[in-house]
Structure 1
Amino acid sequence: MIDGTCKRDSVTQRASFFTVMVQLSANSCISLHTAESTDLDVFDGTHTLQVLSVKPVESHAATAVDRYRIIIADGIHFVQAMLATQLNHLVSEDKVKKYTIVNITKMTCNYVQEKRLLIILGLDVIQQSDVKIGEPTPLAPAPNKSASASTTPAAPAPAASSSSRPPPAQAAAPSKAPRPAPPPPTTSNHGSIYPIEGLSPYQNTWTIKARVTQKSDLKTYSNHRGDGKLFNITLMDDTGEIRATAFNEVAGELYDRIQEGKVYYLSRARVNFAKKQFSHLNNEYELGLDKNTLCTDLTNAPSIKYNFTPLNGLEGLNKDSTCDVLAIVQTAGELATITSKQQGREISKRELTLVDQSKFQVRMTLWGKQAEQFNSEGSVIAFKNVKVGDFGGRSLSFFSSSNMSINPPDLEAAQILRGWFDDKGKQEEFQAYQSTGGGGGGGPFEREKLKSIAEVKAAEVDETKPTSHSIKATLLFIKHDNMWYPSCQTSTCNKKVTDAGDGWICDVCKKKFPKPEYRYIMSMACADHSEQAWLQGFNEVGTVIFGGKTATELEAMKEEGADAFTAFVQEHTCETFNFVLRAKKDDYNGQTRVRYGISKILPIDYREEMKSMRDQLLGPWGQTAI
């Protein structure tokens, strides 16, 4: 039942036959639509409203940041707003959708190309509904600043019903009506203060107040224009994050003035579209710094906001995505160096083993100065914006826009983790991610989406991330050469070790072992009724194919006699398996090709196969065939 009555102070409607009575905030839409952006009583107040629509907004082609336009109503009127990107998870988790009733706790008003834009910064979901409350109508464009000073506020709208219409004063304005002039969002002795979420290339005058959560080294570069230097920082306020970069003279001027962890007013920087190859922040814009932009202010500093993913939840994240984790550093490896093929120079690195209450452990790689300065083994660390990799099943990497807070004193979750680890966590057995062929993360085997090899080869491959496929195929041939490699015996490392004469040394762990543990690295030809394909698999794949025998056991068998080894391998061909494949593009000798890695390999379960065939015969396919 829908009650269409309204009062001046509240609108009472029934959201659904089975739900409790809900009171929407009457006249909130008028207040939000007409208030100046300095009116904090309106934008920081609580408004109980209903969501009428949630639609994605097409982003700039160079970005992959999702933006959502949301229509909210108070039972009488409705207005449009943008959802801040830090609230996107509410849409993806299906918590905010059509007819959801919410408490909006924080908003801001911005102007882009003289167009008024409401941005929702904070909201709480009250309940879900399946019906619209009232018959809300649109509002006319808000009057400009000068006009609003000489007119009285509009009277409250009449009761909404199926036959009611807005009064003439609220009729739609002509399309050529002048746009309102952009007033400042908030004011201070530093001028207009804008939220990071509200920045765009179409604004000329703005100031943000933000904390520097990450500062890179001062780097040098050389290109066709000559030599130069640069550094970048990550800025954060209550609404989001943005990357800023300074070059050459500006970089030299600002590098020592900008300190990581401090708060600054920043203005006169250029707002550009973000170059996503250099930044993984959830912002479609970035800043180019000017040497006259900064003024330190340590009051009302925004704190870092986290959205922690437990370590056992990393498998559900895509490779190269970013996340926040809170973990104990169980072990810290020795400082090592590698030579970057891309940059042609040595880079420092250090491997950490992280654990948490989920009883999982994962490897975290630190680079550069973070690796060189790290000495916090056994500490609780909150990692912000670290990169997810698929080596060894799942791994993490600390890169330029990442941030870490060691033993954060104001984070309750960190204190809980510390207490758990000191009490019983030290005695726990932790599960490590395992590489399942092509690196893991390929998802489950989906029999209902089974494809032929020909269909897999014909499918489009995403340029940015692997594509997952489920197939059933028969193993025809395994390349005997280089079927395994000598690996480090540290459970979280598995890197290749080298023979030093008096033992085997791992270049990463700097540990020496009397003998290595061998791990499979396989290339095999598989086929089904449609076509043949070459598949790549790692250690667990080989263990399944050879009936549980490890690569170390096969190495010993090969040493004892090549004929017996060859016969054993041949015995395990011509067997059929279910596979989950990860199709990924890569470059080889200047040519682009698609590689098919095995994420999962499953022996055939004949009971399941027969059940699937029975379901096919009894389903539409079987009835059509008859």
Structure 2
Amino acid sequence: MPVNLTANAISAINGGDVNSKPLLQVLDIKLIGSSQERYRILLSDGISSQHAMLATQLNDRVKTGRVKKGSVIQLIDYICSMVQSRKIIVLLNMETIISDCEIIGNPKVSTESETTFQKQLPNGNLKQSIGIGNNKFNAQNSSNSLPSYRSTVQPSHQPPANYSAQTHGSFVPSYGAQNHGNNVQSFRPSVQPPYQPPPNYRNQGPIVKNEAPARIIPIAALNPYQGRWAIKARVTAKGDLRRYNNARGDGKVFSFDLLDSDGGEIRVTCFNAVVDRFYDVIEVGRVYFISKGSLKPAQKTFNHLKNEWEIFLEVASTVDLCPEEDASIPRQQFSFRPISDIESAESNSIFDVIGIVTSVNPSVPILRKNGMETQRRIVNLKDDSARTVELTLWGDFCNKEGQKLQEMVDAEFFPVLAVKAAKISDFSGKSIGSISSTQLFINPDIPEARSVRQWFEHGGKNVASVFISRDTMPGGPKNEIRKTVSQIKDEGLGRSDKPDWVTVRAAINFIKADNFCYTACPLMIGDRQCNKKVTMSGNSRWQCDRCNQEFEECDYRYLLQAQIQDHTGATWVTAFQESGEEILGCSAKELYKLKYELEDDVTFTEVMRRRLFYQYLLRLKIKEEMYGDEQRVKITVVKVDPVNYSSESRYLLDLISNFRTL
């Protein structure tokens, strides 16, 4: 199939033409980059050739063989950027016209020719030069560097007759088919012509320091090598303002996510003084023009967007609100995956999920590792893949969307919930949880929501659903791995490198009354209490070896040794402060005062006795530890919940349904 490449397309692109959609040929393809696959290709118009970078979304064209050496392609969307003083074409979209073709013409790489020409100048002496774009060329000794160019050199202060002056102050040869009169052949150099501004910037008078407005480009075209760029995008998510402290001092940071009309997404981050400028300006759902930021590799640990770069705004950056609503930019972009895909997904990966809310648990307070308290709420989602997953909501999600969901489910209306950017966890079975960038949409007006609603109303509500973790307790206070007491020993739990976390439904049948608590240090270390064991010094004051201080009063903390039992057997467990208070219903200090100060053994014994033989859901941490020269399995109670018999009945019914589907 004969084909004609677009003549002089390379020169036109270098001059700023990004609308002609030329036909070019691929001369070479090379895979580059270590952190992410990028393809560099060599393009030809039959006369000149130039390197180009393939946008990552087009990588599959190379991998599937649709684009290869010799292919003739049509450029659809593309830009030209400066990379280390060289112009590189960035391909955003293209079509393959001919998959395999013989090399057309005799193209030359202009940048290599320029470099060769400069290297061949004697001693690098540029006595006679002409300006072509951003490169200077010596016309002396041209017989060594350009054999077809043998003109007589004219004085440097006078331009030859066939040179036209440009506004940049350099002279550009008016190349044509005419001869110079001194054995000069028809000469079509492969060097770039001088940069011409886009048409909308012409006839605007002189521009000082290239301060014309930057051209709007797609988010997918952004790269760190662009000097000037601007994007138009909608804010789809805005993170909370966070404060931090490191070796360089205190600081603050916040981020927001952008989406443009081409579907490109990118995260923008602001620090310190930049936060003060833009935090109150940015509103979710609004469209902005953003420019003059720096691009750095995205930290995929914290950034789930499908973009290898992240924008960092600076003091000189601009963020301008678009005066009119742009309907071409969607309000939100989802990449929904069925709940069944979560079973095989890696932990910490990010999913968009949509499903029917079948149950919502009350919000409960949780103490984080840093000593700060937050809220947690459990929601169960079901979709047409006949799977149910547990969604854990944290913080403000519990009181906003979480409370609304609970009210709807209590009224026996089961809403559709779309979850954007949920994080997958394999702790106690596969589940998903909210993170700072998570967004919840209740009954959204999107096709996926209408589809799952129709499925649910036409029989889906009665379909037996398989929980992703079979040992889970749907509708209960937490998504736990359920075990019996005998399974702890029979399955060798706690003997691996990491502890095992299980939930056991059992009764407490015995509590040791001796040494039920210890004396603890009440001093604060930062925002947390020391809690180390203290001893009485010679001057009747309590002393902490860790804090190296003495004080009048100490604290009292539980260290209970108890035996639990279910229908399969019994085992010993240890309960510390919070768990001890949940079991006995009073503080360790109150019980200590009752036994040792008031010496009321009758009341003390009654407090112990009345907590026995009640069933609890006990959250256990099981880990093998060294005691002297012996390895022992230690079982610690980390959470105590009374049995909710309604939720427990649903759990048993779901187990029966799961066994029936096997």
- What TM-score, normalized to structure 2? 0.52
Deviation of the 1:91 alpha carbon = 6.6
Deviation of the 1:288 alpha carbon = 2.6
Partner of 1:259: 283
CA distance in 2, matches of 1:429, 1:139: 67
1:268 partner SS:
strand
2:53 partner SS:
strand
Residue number among 400, 404, 419 corresponding to 1:373 in the alignment:
400
CA distance in 1, matches of 2:196, 2:309: 21
CA distance in 2, matches of 1:215, 1:423: 37
| Residues 225-304 of structure 1: pairs in structure 2 closer than 5 A | 225-237=248-260, 238=262, 240-290=264-314, 293-297=318-322, 298-299=325-326, 301-303=328-330, 304=332
1:75–1:133 contact (8 Å) kept in structure 2:
no
Deviation of the 1:264 alpha carbon = 0.6
Does the alignment pair 1:27 with 2:5? yes
Residue number among 552, 558, 563 corresponding to 2:569 in the alignment:
558
CA distance change for structure 1 residues 393 and 488 in 2, over 3 Å: closer, same or farther?
closer
CA distance change for structure 1 residues 261 and 187 in 2, over 3 Å: closer, same or farther?
farther
Q: Deviations over 1:214-267 (max 9, x none)?
A: 101122333444443322111222263222222334323322211012111112
Moved more, 131-140 or 110-119: 131-140
Partner of 1:211: 234
Letter in 1 for 2:460: G
CA distance in 2, matches of 1:153, 1:329: 73
Deviation of the 1:179 alpha carbon = 9.4
Partner of 1:195: 218
1:76–1:135 contact (8 Å) kept in structure 2:
no
Does the alignment pair 1:310 with 2:338? yes
Residue number among 341, 347, 351 corresponding to 1:319 in the alignment:
347
Residue number among 460, 468, 479 corresponding to 1:494 in the alignment:
479
CA distance change for structure 1 residues 488 and 420 in 2, over 3 Å: closer, same or farther?
closer
Identity of aligned residues (%): 31
CA distance change for structure 1 residues 91 and 317 in 2, over 3 Å: closer, same or farther?
farther
| Residues 49-198 of structure 1: pairs in structure 2 closer than 5 A | 55-59=30-34, 64-69=35-40, 80-87=51-58, 94=64, 98=68, 105-122=76-93, 132-136=100-104, 138=107, 140-141=109-110, 144=133, 173=190, 191-198=214-221
Name which one, 1 or 2, has greater alpha-carbon Rg: 2
CA distance change for structure 1 residues 36 and 241 in 2, over 3 Å: closer, same or farther?
same
Letter in 1 for 2:389: V
Question: Which ranges of structure 2 fall in alignment gaps of 5 or more residues?
Answer: 112-131, 135-165, 178-184, 203-211, 409-413, 503-564, 572-624, 627-662
Partner of 1:359: 386
2:88 partner SS:
strand
Residue number among 372, 387, 390 corresponding to 2:423 in the alignment:
387
Deviation of the 1:312 alpha carbon = 1.8
2:228–2:292 contact (8 Å) kept in structure 1:
yes
How many aligned positions are there? 427
CA distance change for structure 1 residues 135 and 91 in 2, over 3 Å: closer, same or farther?
closer
Question: Which ranges of structure 1 fall in alignment gaps of 5 or more residues?
Answer: 12-25, 155-166, 437-486, 498-515, 527-531, 540-553, 561-587, 590-626
Structure 1 vs Structure 2 CA RMSD: 5.1
Task: Flag the structure with more relative contact order, 1 or 2, with Cα contacts below 8 A and sequence separation at least 6.
Answer: 1
CA distance in 1, matches of 2:57, 2:199: 20
Partner of 1:592: none
CA distance in 2, matches of 1:537, 1:91: 46
Deviation of the 1:388 alpha carbon = 2.8
Letter in 1 for 2:274: V
Does the alignment pair 1:412 with 2:455? no
Q: Deviations over 1:149-178 (max 9, x none)?
A: 986899xxxxxxxxxxxx99778x5xxx67
1:29–1:78 contact (8 Å) kept in structure 2:
no
CA distance change for structure 1 residues 204 and 77 in 2, over 3 Å: closer, same or farther?
closer
Q: Deviations over 1:263-311 (max 9, x none)?
A: 1111232333434443233334323324662111133552244433222
Deviation of the 1:316 alpha carbon = 4.1
Does the alignment pair 1:423 with 2:474? no
CA distance in 1, matches of 2:10, 2:489: 62
CA distance change for structure 1 residues 274 and 490 in 2, over 3 Å: closer, same or farther?
same
CA distance in 2, matches of 1:421, 1:148: 73
1:133 partner SS:
coil
1:396 partner SS:
strand
| Residues 331-480 of structure 1: pairs in structure 2 closer than 5 A | 331-341=359-369, 343-374=370-401, 375-376=404-405, 378-409=414-445, 411-434=446-469
